Structure 1
Amino acid sequence: MEDSELEQIRKARLEQLKAQGGGKAASGGSGSQEQAAQRQQQEAEARKSVLNQILEPEAADRLGRIRLVKEQRATDIENRLIMLAQSGQLRQKVTEDQLKELLNAMADNKEEEKIVVSRRKGWEDDDDDLLDL
């Protein structure tokens, strides 16, 4: 069963590469736009197929909920999962707990944004009001 899943992932990736190569050969007008749209649709279908093969239903559901809130984060996670599957590092379907661990690991790697407030000195100060008594 494991070998057949890997074979399906490889076929999906091969189709994806063929679609990318075919789109680059096109040139000009609306035909290339249609081909680009078709290529994007094929890539989306290939991604969906691969993700269905490597994610358990609960993990796929969680990833879908993440997509509703932060689409870019969900795309990053999908890319990471597909890369792991293509490199043969996934030996079984990804569970919801494993997906949580991956999310936490990727969140730790991101640099947190910091807000720095710099105040000007020498402007009106509330302490000046106390001296006028």
Structure 2
Amino acid sequence: MSDADLEEIRKGRLAQLQQRQGNGGAGGGSSQEEDRKKQESEARNSILSQILTPEAADRLGRIRLVKESRATDVENRLITLARSGQLRSKVTEDQLKEILGAVAENEEKSGGGGGGRIVINRRKGVWDDDDDLLDL
């Protein structure tokens, strides 16, 4: 993705925002919020379609079916890489796997996502039915 492509996307988004501000008083607040979310989603999808190979896009779709938050994290990282100019070509499925691994590793380090670990904290000094058995 070239700088010209990104600049074109930015100009389009700016034009949409300016047009919406011109229509500011018309319609309810929730409708504007829905429109904003829809346009944001379209912009994300546009960028992702430009930076992902079809196989990688398909894999990202399957990831979204299993864990939407992880797919969103991967998308955010990909968009950041694209905007910073660090992507020289379309992201392949193998590259997507690497990014997915990095996101998963980062999530484990930060403690997010739970990781399947269950921690039970028992309070001491609280009356429990088992305490009756000891006083016999």
Same structural fold, with TM-score higher than 0.5 when normalized by the shorter chain: yes
Matched residue of 1:91: which SS? coil
| Separation of aligned partners in 2, 1:90 and 1:64 | 20
Q: 1:57 to 1:108 in 2, by over 3 A?
A: same
For the pair 1:102 / 2:87, whether they are aligned, the reply is no
Q: 1:40 to 1:67 in 2, by over 3 A?
A: same
Q: Which structure has the greater CA radius of gyration?
A: 1
Segments of 4+ moved more than 4 angstroms: 20-29, 119-123
Give the unaligned 5+ runs of structure 2. Answer: none
Counting aligned pairs with the same residue, the percent is 54
Number of residue pairs aligned between Structure 1 and Structure 2: 127
Q: Quote the RMSD (CA, aligned, Å).
A: 3.0
Q: Which residue matches 1:50?
A: 47
Q: What TM-score comes out, normalization by structure 2 length?
A: 0.71
1:1-133 matches, within 5 Å, as 3=2, 6-20=3-17, 23=20, 27=24, 30-110=27-107, 111-112=110-111, 113=114, 114-119=117-122, 124=130
Matched residue of 1:30: which SS? coil
Moved more, 16-25 or 74-83: 16-25
On the 8 A contact 1:59/1:94 being kept in 2, the answer is yes
On the 8 A contact 2:51/2:82 being kept in 1, the answer is yes
Q: Which residue matches 1:131?
A: none
Give the unaligned 5+ runs of structure 1. Answer: 129-133
Q: 1:21 to 1:78 in 2, by over 3 A?
A: farther
